[in-house]
Amino acid sequence: MRILHVETGRHLYGGAYQVLQLLRGLADLGMENILVAPHDSAIVSEAAGYAQIHPVRMRGDLDPRLPLEIRRAIRSNRPHWVHVHSRRGADWWGGAIANALGIPAVITRRVDNPERAAVARIKYRWYRRVVAISSAIKEILKKEGIPSHKLVLIPSAVDTEAFGYPYPREDFLRRFQLQPNHLAVGMIAQFIPRKGHHLLLQAAPMIMEAFPNARFLLFGKGPLLPSVRRECENRGLDPFVRFVGYRQDLPRILPCLDLVVHPASMEGLGVSLIQAAAAGRAIVACRAGGIPEVVRDRFNGLLVEPGDVGGLAGAVNALLGDPGERRRMGETGRRWVHEHFSPGSMVSKYLTLYKETVSS
């Protein structure tokens, strides 16, 4: 059976990383995957062993070549299903084209920013099922007028075994210019407004006052990176902050951190949070979007209200000052992720979904 996937993201971040895991899992079960993706995207090379690649040369999400390429890929491959994983163009065209060609289509919604109800109803009418990666997103889709019978909850997943091989302590310290007494606080997120980097920098002086040995490791890339760098300099935080970019060795780094912070004001679910929990790290995050479905307050981390700088600093300080509680939350989170966010479970749910769309 053949599934044609559409993923237009250029970086192997949250959504594209989930698509890669799905392709791998489906291929292991004998499914045939076709991937429509930008020719210069990271997923193209990573997915080559699990899918036939249909590369697209496109300048952006609204490039008129995209619908033509989606149509060409469907007509030439005649898949049993079309699965659209992206928004801003692909979501509009993918379902409509598949429907016109008589192929059932499903779409996965990964973000929690609302759309106008009229727009959502038109766009999703062509899809047999709309997958939400969190209950928060599912509720948003209901409010946008998407019929309940179309909605399916399938959370994102991470390979927990990948986080079982951390760098030796000395190696980790050397890589990030840290001293043995430093407390490493990590934030793993794209540099975009809703992730809350500026909030962390505002809280940093209060954290440093209580823990002068705290050091902040900021992972990721994005358009706000220059702005965050400037704010870091203006606040005199340069000696205490490391901008470490996108790291493919993140599974070996995460278990070495003392704490993970995620002050996002909007979040569909938060793959980096699932990864942090899989690595056995306690987490401080904001009570926004699907975050509470991964970080349960006082269970595997602490939750604060979005935008609450003092609350964020207080929660970080509480856990930095209590290594035993950090360890307890870390172990609890690791078990929680293994039970609820495994790749095998995600792949199985999607496979069931595909079969249901054909029967419907």
Q: What CATH number is attached to the domain comprising 318?
A: 3.40.50.2000
Question: Are residues 114 and 101 part of one domain?
Answer: yes
pLDDT at 62 over 90: no
Question: Are residues 225 and 130 part of one domain?
Answer: no
At residue 149, the pLDDT reads 95
CB 272 within 8 A of CB 329: no
Q: Which long-range contacts (CB under 8 A, 24 or more apart) does 122-130 make?
A: 123/91, 123/92, 123/95, 124/95, 124/150, 125/95, 126/95, 126/96, 126/98, 126/99, 127/84, 127/95, 128/104, 128/357, 128/360, 129/353, 129/356, 129/357, 130/106
Tally of structural domains, the chain: 2
Question: Are residues 225 and 153 part of one domain?
Answer: no
Question: Are residues 153 and 237 part of one domain?
Answer: no
Q: What is the CA radius of gyration of the chain?
A: 21
CB 112 within 8 A of CB 266: yes
Mean pLDDT within 127-139: 97
pLDDT at 277 over 70: yes
Question: Are residues 239 and 97 part of one domain?
Answer: no
Which amino acid is residue 80, in one-letter code? H
Question: Are residues 272 and 137 part of one domain?
Answer: no
Question: Are residues 294 and 196 part of one domain?
Answer: yes
Greater confidence, 134 or 358?
A: 134
Question: Are residues 253 and 190 part of one domain?
Answer: yes
CB 141 within 8 A of CB 120: yes
Question: Are residues 118 and 262 part of one domain?
Answer: no
Residue 5's nearest CA partner among 122, 131, 114 is 131
Question: Are residues 224 and 110 part of one domain?
Answer: no
CB atoms within 10 A of CB 338: 14
Cα of 164 vs its chain's centroid, Å: 20
Question: Are residues 169 and 152 part of one domain?
Answer: no
DSSP structure class, residue 167 = P
Average pLDDT, the chain: 95
What is the span of the domain harbouring residue 63? Answer: 2-157+342-359
CB 290 within 8 A of CB 136: yes
Question: Are residues 165 and 307 part of one domain?
Answer: yes
CB 130 within 8 A of CB 109: yes
pLDDT tens digits, one per residue of 152-170 = 999 999 998 999 999 999 9
